[in-house]
Amino acid sequence: MSYFEKLKAGIKAGLNSSQRDHVQYRTASLLEMICSMAHNGVGMCFYMLAMRASYIGTEGYAIPVTVVGLILTVTKAFDGLTDAIAAAIFERFPAGKNGKIRVLFATGWVIEALAVLLLYSWASGKFSGIAGLILFTVTHVTYTLGYTLAVISAGTSATVLTNDPIQRPMMAFVDMAFSYGTPILMNMFLSFAILPKYDNQWNVPALREAGYIHVGFAFILMLVTCFGVRKVDVKETFETLSDDKEEKVKFRDMWNVLRHNRAAQMYIVTCATDKFAASVASEAVVTTMVAGILIGSYKATSLIGGATSIIGLICAFSGGIFIAKVGVKKATSIWSWACIALSVASIVFYVVLGKDGMSLISVAAVPTIIYLVLQMGITAAKMILSTASSAMRGDIVDYELERSGKYMPAVVYGVYSFISKLVSSLSSTISALCVALLGYTTTMPQMGDEPTTGLFWMAIFLSTVMPILGWICNIVAMKFYELDKERMVEVQRNIAQKKAEAYQMGD
């Protein structure tokens, strides 16, 4: 039976089950797989706005660059602390008539939507000094609370919909398609329809209009997500293997996951280091230095980014098939090496062009083609890694169920997110300090600034070298990760056996 035949059989089974490898797997329909993953598009809409918080801080509230970076670092660290609270709320929240994924996800969306509209539109340009500093901080903290609740709640969707090792990589692929596809659509729209109206500057009016657009699109995707999880968002889905089905998850359970679950530890190392490096590379100030100053064209880089992401998604689909065949452990190691190799090649290419030659990428054929090919390769490899990490999270949840008897999708996601955010919270401070070293102390880099030698090397370090360090950590972590393909089949068999025994005892 081929991979596609197995996948088709699982999709046809819908939310019933599919038996394979002497294991009865829980499966999802194609429509539910697609709609439920729209939550990642919601998260990306707000994440993209958050990446421009440094601009709204300086432009809309007259806060110095370094102070904005410090505030964002503190709020990101606070964001990590709220993950544990949000996870506990989710696990203890009863799944009533409207479920609990949908209720908590929608509640989080309302909080973050109101906060960002206040931050980017209703209050920006109207407050400065101490009042501006306080309003910016409080509003950003409020947004963080809503964002955390929404992400933790909806982040369980992929895990609860299916435990089929054939479907999970495809779920991860759809998840990642929203993760990359949403920024493509939004960046293309902003680059061609919004920024030109404001002389390609991220000023208060541009940020205000962008805020409304992001929130509106996120609302549509929120409704789609709630539709996708409606059938699985029921009480029976969240039962544990313990004798007491009403047993509540405690904060101690989160500590036990972090302390005793080696697979979860390695997963955290892998994802947290990747997140930290990627957060630094994706900071608005870094993309401005690369796309707006060195290359000198937001439109060109947006078009190239869109093209590379489309090709990357096609490759990532094949990557999902590869992950289903070899398992997440092996796939993570292989594609981390691929990312490193392609990034090193990119650095060599940038050095050959030099600080002044980077502008040829948007106007000359050969440099543009080379840049396009390298970006396609890196994007595809990164997408496959994202697919693997998403599938890995589902494996961790099931392994924890086998290990402790507790089904805690939000706790596992929350523990990872807590550590990840604490680590990545330094990204804003690092990028702010780095550009401050270049002389940007009261303003942020903008398109049209001079491409100095210092800016050139700083942009390469932040955008390319930092991610390489994260991928090296992936390779090391996978040496100690035990959940290969064969071990996960054993995990599912053990869970099925324990569930059967628990139901027999209940009868």
What is residue 76's predicted lDDT score, i.e. its pLDDT? Answer: 72
What is residue 113's predicted lDDT score, i.e. its pLDDT? Answer: 95
Which of 33, 490, 440 lies closest to 229, judged by CA?
33
The CATH class of the 28-235+269-506 domain is mainly alpha
Distance CA 151, CA 44 (A): 10
The ranges of the chain with pLDDT < 50 are 15
Cα atoms in the 13 Å half-sphere on the side-chain side of 494: 14
What is the DSSP secondary-structure string of 138-195? HHHHHHHHHHHHHHHHHTTHHHHH---TTHHHHHHHHHHHHHHHHHHHHHHHIIIIIG
Left (φ > 0), alpha (ψ -120 to 50) or beta: where does 99 sit?
left
Distance CA 433, CA 65 (A): 9
DSSP 99: B
Reported as a single tens digit per residue, the pLDDT across 226-274 is 999 988 888 877 766 655 555 566 667 777 877 888 888 898 888 878 7
What is residue 247's predicted lDDT score, i.e. its pLDDT? Answer: 55
What is residue 12's predicted lDDT score, i.e. its pLDDT? Answer: 58
Q: What are the b/e assignments for 217-247, b being 16+ CB within 10 Å?
A: bbeebbebbbebbbbbbbeebbebbeeeeee
What is residue 351's predicted lDDT score, i.e. its pLDDT? Answer: 93
What is residue 10's predicted lDDT score, i.e. its pLDDT? Answer: 56
DSSP 452: -
Reported as a single tens digit per residue, the pLDDT across 118-134 is 999 998 888 888 998 99
What is residue 261's predicted lDDT score, i.e. its pLDDT? Answer: 86
Distance CA 495, CA 259 (A): 22
Write down the pTM of the prediction: 0.70
H or E stretch at 2: none
What is residue 386's predicted lDDT score, i.e. its pLDDT? Answer: 81
What is residue 248's predicted lDDT score, i.e. its pLDDT? Answer: 61
Radius of gyration of the chain (CA): 23
Q: Which two tokens stand for residue 292?
A: 């707006």
